[in-house]
């Protein structure tokens, strides 16, 4: 029961928000709407605010989000001035029903043994007339008296985390429902250089629109992140028709790392190959989802053009007419020229940052004839 005497479950559910890698929020919004049944209220760079009728642990199964929170309060009208500190303090102190938020949190994350532990996180990006440390102090002051007696502050693996995120004039504050396994997954035991974030790979797989009975290819698989996300979709589609997941890399270590990472995920056909001479039949693949190497990874930037040309030749050969490709590349313009020369049509283009570098996620359709 709450202080008002009403059972907690009678209170309306507060909004939730998800943090995403910048650039994939619309794909996350689509997942939240179609797979979770949520109602998206707002999207901003790296943020999706949504409502659910009921709170269940299904929110933790989202693939394209980095973290999910119960919203305490949100604002998109920060002034960038020091007065914002008063707003942060007062809103944190007065707006949320913290007791209700904590009870909802416990439903999704039952208490572990021992004393309850909590952690306060304050993130800030963009130029403001105050420092992040000042924002954190104001936030902590606003939380005074809200944390039940007996809870212990803990920096590491706390049971409950209260976050304040400030990004330009937007601020969101909430209780974190997810933990690190949402963004890192449990399958990623081994890495290779330039391995993708699983949530970005999941967004690419989602944009590919994998249907029952399809064959999906990643010719430059690295640590197998895209293949793992494709296998997750394959698992969901398998009742209607088996999805075949195929991948390879020129580096034998990458193929080994991929096989390790996929061990507990599902079965993919893996091979060590040169993507410019794929051992695959003509018109045998329905979807290509890939993150080809970028100039800086090769010995020289000049090598990237010829590699893209030769790889695109193979993609055009193995992809069925009407098939689709989802690609993530830093040298997008070069890739675009090559794919257009094969008459592929670009249907979507999104800017995202990859390893701190501007990159483009693009979706392509191969013509039917
Ligand atoms: C950007 S990484 C892919 C990362 C991958 N998406 C992941 O999440 O780990 C590009 C990969 O292409 C591989 N590669 C480079 N040239 C290749 C070629 N000619 N054929 C096949 N793979 C190649 C590299 O070994 C590297 O693993």
Euclidean distance between CA atoms 360 and 337, whole angstroms: 14
Spell out the residues 6+ positions from residue 107 whose beta carbon is closer than 8 angstroms to its own. 55
**HSE-up of 175 (CA within 13 Å, CB side)?**
24
Q: Which atom of ligand 1 is nearest to the CA of 290?
A: 6
Using DSSP, state whether 137 is helix, strand or coil.
Answer: helix
The rounded Å distance from CA 283 to ligand 1 centre is 22
State the alpha helices, DSSP H only, in the chain: 25-34, 84-94, 98-108, 132-142, 180-184, 198-208, 225-237, 252-262, 304-318, 332-341
pLDDT at residue 184, as a whole number:
87
Residue 361 phi, psi dihedral angles, 5° rounding: -100, 120
**212, 243 in Cβ contact below 8 A?**
yes
The rounded Å distance from CA 183 to ligand 1 centre is 22
Residues of the chain with CATH 3.30.2130.30: 8-183
**What rounded mean pLDDT belongs to the chain?**
92
**Residue bearing the bigger pLDDT, 8 or 171:** 171
The rounded Å distance from CA 234 to ligand 1 centre is 22
Ligand 1: which residue has its CA nearest to atom 12?
220
Ligand 1: which residue has its CA nearest to atom 10?
293
Q: What percent of the chain has pLDDT over 70?
A: 95
Residues of the chain with CATH 3.40.50.150: 185-365
CATH match for 185-365 among 3.40.50.150, 3.40.47.10, 3.30.2320.30, 3.30.70.1150: 3.40.50.150
CATH match for 8-183 among 3.30.2130.30, 3.40.50.2300, 3.40.1500.10, 3.40.50.1700: 3.30.2130.30
Ligand 1: lining residues by beta carbon, under 6 Å: 192, 194-196, 220, 222-223, 225-226, 249-251, 254, 274-276, 291, 293
Ligand 1: which residue has its CA nearest to atom 13?
220
In which band, very low, low, confident or very high, does the pLDDT at 296 lie, cut at 50, 70 and 90? low
pLDDT at residue 270, as a whole number:
98
């Amino acid at each position: 029961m709450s202080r008002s005497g009403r059972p907690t479950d009678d209170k309306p559910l507060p909004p939730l928000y998800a943090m995403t890698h910048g650039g994939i929020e619309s794909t996350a919004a689509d997942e939240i709407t179609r797979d979770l049944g949520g109602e998206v209220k707002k999207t901003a760079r790296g943020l999706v605010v949504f409502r659910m009728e009921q709170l269940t642990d299904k929110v933790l199964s989202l693939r394209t989000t980095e973290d999910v929170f119960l919203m305490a309060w949100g604002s998109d009208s920060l002034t960038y001035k020091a007065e914002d500190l008063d707003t942060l303090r007062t809103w944190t102190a007065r707006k949320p029903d913290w007791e209700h938020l904590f009870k909802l949190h416990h439903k999704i994350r039952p208490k572990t043994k021992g004393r309850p532990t909590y952690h306060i996180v304050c993130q800030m990006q963009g130029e403001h007339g105050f420092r992040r440390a000042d924002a954190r102090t104001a936030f902590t002051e606003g939380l005074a008296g809200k944390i039940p007696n007996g809870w212990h502050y803990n920096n590491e693996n706390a049971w409950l985390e209260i976050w304040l995120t400030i990004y330009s004039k937007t601020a969101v504050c909430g209780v974190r429902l997810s933990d690190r396994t949402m963004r890192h997954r449990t399958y990623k035991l081994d890495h290779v250089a330039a391995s993708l974030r699983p949530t970005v790979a999941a967004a690419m797989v989602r944009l590919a629109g994998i249907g029952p009975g399809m064959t999906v290819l990643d010719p430059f698989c690295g640590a197998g992140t895209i293949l793992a996300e494709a296998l997750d979709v394959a698992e969901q589609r398998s009742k209607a028709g088996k999805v075949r997941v195929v991948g390879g890399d020129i580096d034998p270590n990458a193929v080994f790392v991929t096989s390790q990472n996929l061990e507990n995920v599902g079965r993919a056909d893996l091979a060590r190959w040169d993507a410019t001479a794929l051992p695959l039949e003509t018109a045998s693949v329905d979807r290509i989802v890939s993150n080809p190497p970028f100039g800086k990874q090769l010995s020289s930037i000049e090598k990237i053009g010829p590699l893209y040309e030769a790889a695109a030749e193979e993609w055009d050969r193995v992809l069925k007419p009407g098939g689709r490709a989802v690609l993530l590349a830093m040298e997008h313009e070069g890739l675009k020229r090559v794919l257009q020369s094969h008459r592929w049509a670009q249907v979507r283009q999104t800017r995202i940052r990859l390893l701190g570098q501007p990159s483009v996620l693009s979706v392509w359709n191969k013509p039917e004839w």
